[in-house]
């Protein structure tokens, strides 16, 4: 199990502007942890989709981010949580082609393929929590001493 020192940031997801802040935060955090450009782009894409789902289908919520480690590996854990209607059929929601709205139905399944670890918990009438972890393929740069 990955080790975390705690939550680094908690961002609200209540508007389209918040989606932009989420993307910016994830890109900056991933870069700071030593993620390459391709890994950053994959994680930002997954985060963007999950944040939009939190806003559109969950009525808004929050994203928490945390630096995690496993041995020498460094990663970024993102948790998206809402108190919306929840997902009645998780298997169906993860299937490519399924959509509960006007989208292409590639959201949850696509986000799952873009990260290394993916967890989805949902209770109808209570809400949904999606947690993803991506690991940097290169070690983070050394810390600068003050």
How confident is residue 140, by pLDDT bands cut at 50, 70 and 90? Answer: very low
The domains located in the chain, with CATH, are 8-135 (3.30.565.10)
Which residue has 């983070």 as its token pair? 140
Q: Could you write out the three-class secondary structure of the chain? A: CCEECCCCEEEEECCHHHHHHHHHHHHHHHHHCCCCHHHHHHHHHHHHHHHHHHHHCCCCEEEEEEEEEECCEEEEEEEEEECCCCCCCHHHHHCCCCCCCCCCCCHHHHHHHHCCEEEEEEECCCEEEEEEEEECCCCCCCCCCC
For residues 52 and 7, which has the higher predicted lDDT (pLDDT)? 52
pLDDT in tens, 27-49: 999 999 999 999 999 999 999 99
pTM: 0.84
Residue 34 CB partners (closer than 8 Å, separation 6+): 74, 136, 138, 139, 140, 141
pLDDT in tens, 86-128: 887 667 667 665 555 555 445 788 899 999 999 999 998 999 9
Average pLDDT, the chain: 85
């Amino acid at each position: 199990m990955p080790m975390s020192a705690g939550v680094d940031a908690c961002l609200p997801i209540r508007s389209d502007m918040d989606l932009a802040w989420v993307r910016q935060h994830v890109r900056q955090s991933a870069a700071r942890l030593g993620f390459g450009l391709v890994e950053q782009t994959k994680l930002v894409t997954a985060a963007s989709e999950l944040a939009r789902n939190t806003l559109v289908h969950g009525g808004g919520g929050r994203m928490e981010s945390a630096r995690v480690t496993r041995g020498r590996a460094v990663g970024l854990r993102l948790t998206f949580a809402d108190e919306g209607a929840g997902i009645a059929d998780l298997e169906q929601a993860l299937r490519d082609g399924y959509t509960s709205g006007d989208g292409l139905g590639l959201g949850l399944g696509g986000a799952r393929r873009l990260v290394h670890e993916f967890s989805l918990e949902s209770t109808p009438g209570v809400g949904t929590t999606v947690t993803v972890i991506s690991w940097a393929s290169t070690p983070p740069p050394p810390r600068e001493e003050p």
